[in-house]
Amino acid sequence: MGQTLSVRQLEAWYGSNKTLKGINMEVASNHVTAIIGPSGCGKSTFVRCINRMHETMPGTKVKGEIVLDGESIYDQDPVALRKMVGMVFQKPNPFPSMSIYENVVAGVRLNGMRNKQNLQGIAEKSLRMAALWDEVKDRLNYSGMSLSGGQQQRLCIARALAVEPSVLLMDEPASALDPIATTHIEELVRQLKEDYTILIVTHNMQQAARIADSTAFFLNGELVEHGATSEIFTNPNDKRTEDYITGRFG
């Protein structure tokens, strides 16, 4: 099951550069929430704060509060948190020294699972959820790098799902992919929301309109507007949102 997230007064810095200026936002469980906005608006930083990945970069700072299922994420060990909040990155990043199978179970193995039968079960289940099983079931021992870009990205999704998180963060997961691979990923996202709370960063507004239940528009480190996707795209409250979605800037 997915879980709700509430973000309160979140501020984040890269060195002296303040990239998030007090974000307040509620993220519904089992919804796809799209984060849109022009480059440099802080949308990537925002999702990277949710699994505390932002802090792993040198010179960064975070203030504020993020509550996941009633508990502050800053009261938790980041390592434990990241098992509940999975992440898929902009570019597919399978581990090149591992086979497809090893890639999928990499996170589960880190958690101490050694039983081969269980691992195989998890691998199959995760690959099925990522809609990749049929394409790779006969060559699980091949390198993850032998797959196409779109398949690699679905492999990375399977790898994230295998750990059984409740929230899935996706940072422009289709931006490096061709249109057909993008369609696959989008379809997948729509299916996955049954089990997960999904936050997806995208610079592609059509993509947000196609897959997201709600959409948040970020600009210069601030959350301008957050609402049902249909509302945001047809009847935005803020002039800046309207200007952005009608293509006047960005």
Partner 1 sequence: MSKKRILTTSMGDQTLRLLTLLMAVSVLVLMAWMGWQMFDAARLSIQKFGLSFITNRVWDPVKEQFGALPFIYGTLVTSLLALLLAAPIGLGVAIFLNEMAESKFRAVVGFLVEMLAAIPSVVYGLWGIFVLAPWLRETVEPGLAKWLGFIPLFQGTPVGFGMLAGGLILAVMILPTIAAISREVMAAVPNMQREAALALGATKWEMIRVAVLPYAKSGIMGGIMLGLGRALGETMAVTMVIGNRPDILPSLFAPAYSMAAVIANEFTEATYDLYLSALVEIGLILFGITLVLNFFARLLVWSVARGPKGGNVV
Which residues contact partner 1 by CB under 8 A? 51, 53, 56, 58, 79-83, 86-87, 89, 91, 93-99, 101-102, 106-107, 110-111, 139-143, 145-146, 156, 159-160, 163
Least Å from the CB of residue 247 to partner 1: 31
Q: Which is nearer to partner 1, 158 or 219 (CB)?
A: 158
Instruction: Tell me whether residue 14 or residue 95 sits nearer to partner 1 (CB atom).
Output: 95
Closest CB to partner 1 among residues 2, 94: 94
Q: What angle do CA 231, 7, 208 make, to 5 degrees?
A: 35
Torsion of CA 205, 208, 209, 211, to 10 degrees: 150
For 173, the token pair is 């997961």
**How far apart are CB 82 and partner 1 at their closest, in Å?**
4
Least separation in angstroms between residue 79's CB and partner 1 is 5
Report d(CA 42, CA 185) in Å as an integer.
Answer: 23
Q: At what angle do helices 100-110 and 149-162 cross, to 10 degrees?
A: 30
Q: Return the structure tokens found at 180.
A: 């057909």
With contact defined as beta carbons under 8 Å apart, do 10 and 23 qualify? yes
Q: Are 136 and 102 in contact, with CB atoms under 8 Å apart?
A: no
Residue with smaller CB distance to partner 1, 199 or 224: 199
Tell me the closest approach of the beta carbon of residue 131 to partner 1, in angstroms: 20
Nearer Cβ to partner 1, position 55 or 222?
55
